[in-house]
Structure 1
Amino acid sequence: MLQPKEWLHWLWPTLIPLSSAEQTEDTEWKQGIAASVQEGDWSTDSDVVLEESRRLFDAEVDRRKGSDAKAGIYLAAITALIPVLVSLLPTLWSDKSSKWLGCISLMLFGLAVAFLLRAGAWAFRTLKVAGFTQLGPGELANTWKEGSPKAGLAKQLASAVLHNYSLVNEKVTGIKMTHEYLLRAFLTFTILLVLQVIWPVGVWVVEERTKLDTPTPAPLIMCYS
């Protein structure tokens, strides 16, 4: 059975930061890979190594572009949807409807809007993640001064990929969190709509059942002598 903290985390997802030991391990892993790249002899089959390095670099570029594109679409959709949803707010509370239904509907509506706003915040945060290592003319000029230019270029690309990993992963994480909150907003709005349909039917069923269960008083017969 889920504990209260787990229920809260399921309802309102949050990122759990790495511990100090995990951060140290991750830093050491990156430093080890970077050292292996710089110290390795890539002059053998340099064409193959260069092609693979380009493929890895292009894959990170595609991941970054895909995350930015999704974040932009989500942010635009949420920005356009919020005013429309707020305009529906007066219809959730009416003097003719049940007060219980109105209270529950307002709570669900507020929760759904909070999910949407949080999703928009994560999408905006994804777009704000800046910094992406690319090779410029200076790196190319220095590489071609080496004995094996192709191997040097492959190392430059591999180092750029390693540096971009954390930045692109941060963008992908932001998109995943946006998905989580959008899913919860969709489910909450679905529950709200179903409640709006089922509640009147349920009230009618209860009233009819109450009428059937209530005994009908027998008419009084007066006798005159």
Structure 2
Amino acid sequence: MNFDLFWPTIKMPSEDKINEKINIDIRKIKGQHSSTNSQVILDEARRLYDQEQDRRSTADNKAGIYIASIAALLSIILSLIPTIINANQHFAINVINVLVFTMAIMNLLRAAIWAKKVISVSSFHLIHWGDLLSAHNNIDIENYLVKKLLCALRANYDLINNKVTSIKMTHALLVSACFWFLIIIIIRILSHFSSMLFDFSINPSGNNPMIYICYFCNDYA
């Protein structure tokens, strides 16, 4: 059974392990010697660098859409709170409705928190004008720019992956919230039909016995 449908969770790696891996990879990049194919590597590094920037902007745009959708959905759902508890229903059904509704709201709020993490202020590594001035004074310009691009690319890789992970977690939480709301609808439909069957079993003819009582009383009035 997929329990993530009920309560999605994810285990994120520790910051220390991530930073340690980044430092190891950056040391490997800086330790690389110049190559005769530096131009090819530079072009590929630029392509990957632009691709990571596109991934970052896409994640930010999706997060903004998710936050707006969650805010609109919460305003509609919170207005339905008085209809969750029905005095004509059994106490146990009302308790189940409240619990399921609470789970749905909690998953929506968790989705908003994960989406907020995406658009929150975070570091992003770029090649600035000082790096270009240093490249101008360097003998092997292409190799210098390759290392700078690859270092920035590696440093941004985990940051952007965290954004993408947060977006996927937001989507999973929204699916889970919709699942809980679907359960509420199913419970209400079943309780409605069960009450109709119960009323029919008590009074199969469908007539109201109070009508006969009042009619009987009028005969003696």
TM range (shorter): 0.7 to 0.9
Query: Which piece of structure 1 moves more, 174-183 or 35-44?
Result: 35-44
2:144 paired residue number: 152
**Match of residue 91, structure 1, among 59, 68, 83:** 83
Deviation (angstroms), 1:208: 4.6
Matched, 1:15 2:5: no
What is the CA RMSD across the aligned residues, in angstroms? 2.6
Do the aligned partners of residues 130 and 29 (structure 1) sit closer, same or farther apart at CA in structure 2, a change above 3 Å counting? closer
Letter in 2 for 1:136: H
CA 108–127 in structure 1, closer or farther in 2 if over 3 Å, else same:
same
Q: Is the 8 A contact 2:6 2:180 kept in 1?
A: no
CA positional deviation for 1:89: 1.1
Is the contact between residue 56 and residue 161 of structure 1 (CA under 8 Å) also seen in structure 2? yes
Relative to 1, partners in 2 of residues 1:106 and 1:27: Cα closer, same or farther, differing over 3 Å? Answer: closer
For 1:164, which of 156, 159, 176 is the aligned residue?
Answer: 156
Q: Tell me if the contact between 2:5 and 2:176 (Cα under 8 Å) persists in the aligned partners.
A: no
Q: CA deviation at 1:198?
A: 2.2
5+ residue gaps, structure 1, are 213-225
Q: How many residues align?
A: 204
Structure 2 unmatched runs, 5+: 205-221
Match of 2:192 among 195, 200, 203: 200
Instruction: Report the alpha carbon displacement of residue 58 of structure 1 after superposing the two structures with TM.
Output: 1.2
The question of whether the paired residues in 2 share the 8 Å contact of 1:43 and 1:148 is answered with: no
Distance 2:20 2:122 in 1: 24
> Structure 2-normalised TM-score?
0.81
Deviations 1:10-54 (CA, angstroms, capped at 9, x unpaired): 74333334479xx55x55543332222112223412210111111
Relative contact order higher in (CA < 8 Å, ≥ 6 apart): 2
Q: Which residue of 1 aligns with 2:29?
A: 37
The CA distance in 2 between the partners of 1:19 and 1:75, in whole Å, is: 26
Aligned to 1:223: none
Sequence identity percentage: 32
8 Å CA contact 2:45–2:150 kept in 1: the answer is yes
Give the counterpart letter for 1:137 in structure 2. Answer: W
Equivalent residue in structure 1 for 2:98, among 96, 101, 106: 106
- Residue 56 of structure 1 deviates from its aligned partner by 1.4
Q: Deviations over 1:156-177 (max 9, x none)?
A: 1100011111211111121121
Alpha-carbon distance change, 182 to 205 in structure 1, aligned in 2, over 3 angstroms: same
SS in 1 for 2:76: helix
- Among candidates 43, 46, 59, match of residue 51 of structure 1: 43
* 2:131 is the alignment partner of 1:136: no
C-alpha change, 1:17 and 1:143, in structure 2 (3 Å) is: same
Secondary structure of the residue aligned to 2:53 is helix
Question: In the aligned structure 2, how far is the partner of 1:165 from the partner of 1:129?
Answer: 16
SS at match of 1:163: helix
The aligned counterpart of 2:212 is none
The 8 Å contact of residues 129 and 167 in structure 1, kept in 2 or not, is answered as: no
